[in-house]
Structure 1
Amino acid sequence: MVALTAIAPITWGTTYVVTTELLPPDHPLWSGALRALPAGLLALAFSRALPRGSWWWRSLLLGTLNIGAFFPMLFLAAYLLPGGVAGVFGAAGPLLVAALAAVLLRERPTARRLIWGVMAVLGVAAMVLGPDSALDPLGILAGMGGVTSMALGTVLSKRWRPPVGPVASAGWQLTAGGLVILPLALIVEGAPPALDAQAVAGYAWLALVGGLLAYTLWFRGLGRLPAGGAAFLPVLSPLVAAVLGFLVLGEQLTPLQLGGFTLALVAVAAAQGSRRRRRTVRERESAALCDHIDER
């Protein structure tokens, strides 16, 4: 389950290189709309399920948090910050989710998970921050806003379990988020940008793989994983972005960056390992109780 869910943030890690290399510049709102809306409509057509009752407003709220607010801020940060710098804010997601889950889900964060959350932030910071990092103020605000929006969306997605499968749930939220972005894109950025073949390919990748596939797997995993453990998986996004920067863009990785990469990766793995250990302990306690009852 963890491995399948991890595919989502791994594909999200391609957003920076696709945005900078394939998409038309200076269109974060249209990039968000063209990523979300086609994928959402395709999921709706495939699942043939529409929200009912309270799920109309819940889908709108979750779609706004996970897509409608998150996508524009993600693209704006990608446009304004050098590759991976926005990942420092994303790495703070586990800490934000832990705080929100304690309030909304009564899911108490363990000291171990908080420590690994801090280690993840330090690891990503060591990997992407350097003396030449250009920290655009608007990019910083976009990065902070994006991670806060997704953290709240992650926790509420755990609190409200949709009465449908992950494809329909992804379709509801992607469509709602795309419809939230669309009028803003028209007002702020005007007509859609002209698309050449590479831009079409970039948007197709972000919509079908980074949107439809990734969010289907993400919402499926959120329904089965603890919010605190799932929150660590998006840390994989800046790690993937850094690797692609090295392989595709020719960016260099220093020993400090490699150390940060390793530390962040260990933090993600350790957070999932602590979840498995607690489950094993619960299973052993349950088995011992059953044995005790059988003996009596």
Structure 2
Amino acid sequence: MTTRSPSNAATAQAGRLLATALAPAVWGTTYVVTTELLPAGHPLFAALLRALPAGLLGIALTRALPRGVWRARVAVLGVLNIGLFFPLLFVAAERLPGGVAATLAATQPVVVVGLAVLLLRERPSAWRCTWAIAGVLGVALVVLRPASVAFDLVGVLAALGSAVSMAFGVILTKRWGRPDGVGPTAFASWLLTSGGLFLLPLTLLVEGTPPTVDGPAVLGYLWLGLIGGLLAYVLWFRGLATLPVTSVALLSPLSPTVAALLGVLVLGQTLGPVQLAGFALSLVAVTAGQWTPRPRAVPSRNPKERIDS
């Protein structure tokens, strides 16, 4: 039997971490794609097309369906990670300024750290807790503007609810894992389909008739479904299966950070000194949160012990 050297293991983990980081980075493109390509006023329809077709496509490709207890687990995980998360996020975006909604949603890593202690019995890490809070502060500095600060109870509860829903989804996904022999593509497809089926009646009830879809909208829906949906969630759930859950959660600030960067590059928005400082803090928090400092060796106070050792 061959064993990996520590350097090879570290390189493999770094590769898995970078691949997982692509998921929140891709999710950061959702805002610009939605505003520039999709018909306005139909966020739930966009969420539905992001989830259900991609999930059904993945099931068709993998030819695998959940069995036994996993039928109920997939239903729960699909609702928490997708079906409930999306509507709450859209409600927050409609009732709150974008900066406020993004900042509240960015509290998800803090919630994940707390839930990991309660449900996964992980030892709390002051280092990662600190950087989780720093990530929220960085996002706030990037996206908040003085004129955008507003309070709407329903919007605030929806934003916090989206963070809690996704956090519970992340924790339960880590706790339950995947069935033996089921890969990340099949697993992501199950959850996207479950979340999409939850969204289907909700979308018809709230938004009614689907909008007219033109060429740019087709491209937008394809991007959200195939890249922002199936591919991103495959990478996300594979990372959850192989990396520490708090490490994965601390990648979440990449999403609003990428959204802000695309606002500058695509929409012609500007970032002042405060926003640039927040941008840098977010990246530092994401990076530093992946590193676990080694405990300092405590020197012996007995000279004889030091000589004998």
The TM-score, its normalising length taken from structure 1, stands at 0.89
- State the match for 2:203 in structure 1: 185
What is the CA deviation profile of residues 254-293 of structure 1, one whole-angstrom value per residue up to 9, with x for unaligned ones? Answer: 101100111111011011112xx56xx8xxxxxxxxxxxx
CA drift at 1:85 = 4.0
CA drift at 1:160 = 0.4
- State the match for 2:109 in structure 1: 94
Correspondence for 1:150 among 144, 161, 166: 166
Q: Does 1:210 align with 2:210?
A: no
- State the match for 1:67 in structure 2: 82
Larger radius of gyration: 2
The amino acid that maps onto 2:31 is Y
What is the CA deviation profile of residues 221-243 of structure 1, one whole-angstrom value per residue up to 9, with x for unaligned ones? Answer: 00011111110111100100000
What is the CA deviation profile of residues 180-209 of structure 1, one whole-angstrom value per residue up to 9, with x for unaligned ones? Answer: 000111111112111111111111100000
Asked if 1 retains the 8 angstrom alpha-carbon contact of 2:29 and 2:259, the reply is yes
Asked if 2 retains the 8 angstrom alpha-carbon contact of 1:73 and 1:142, the reply is yes
Provide the rounded CA distance (Å) in 1 between the counterparts of 2:151 and 2:230: 31
SS in 1 for 2:226: helix
Q: Does 1:116 align with 2:122?
A: no
Q: Does 1:15 align with 2:33?
A: no
- State the match for 1:24 in structure 2: 39
Provide the rounded CA distance (Å) in 1 between the counterparts of 2:48 and 2:21: 24
Provide the rounded CA distance (Å) in 2 between the counterparts of 1:142 and 1:207: 24
Provide the rounded CA distance (Å) in 2 between the counterparts of 1:141 and 1:247: 32
Gaps of 5+ in 1: 282-296
What is the CA deviation profile of residues 55-78 of structure 1, one whole-angstrom value per residue up to 9, with x for unaligned ones? Answer: 000000000000101122233444
Q: How does 1:253-264 map to 2 (within 5 A)?
A: 253-264=271-282
CA drift at 1:84 = 4.7
Alpha-carbon distance change, 135 to 43 in structure 1, aligned in 2, over 3 angstroms: farther
The amino acid that maps onto 1:242 is A
- State the match for 2:187 in structure 1: 169
The amino acid that maps onto 1:116 is W
- State the match for 2:175 in structure 1: 159
Count matched residues. 277
Provide the rounded CA distance (Å) in 2 between the counterparts of 1:89 and 1:230: 18
Provide the rounded CA distance (Å) in 1 between the counterparts of 2:234 and 2:97: 29
CA drift at 1:249 = 1.0
Q: Does 1:248 align with 2:266?
A: yes
Q: What's the Cα RMSD here?
A: 1.6
- Higher mean alpha-carbon deviation, 140-149 vs 239-248, is at 140-149
CA drift at 1:14 = 0.6
% identical aligned pairs: 59
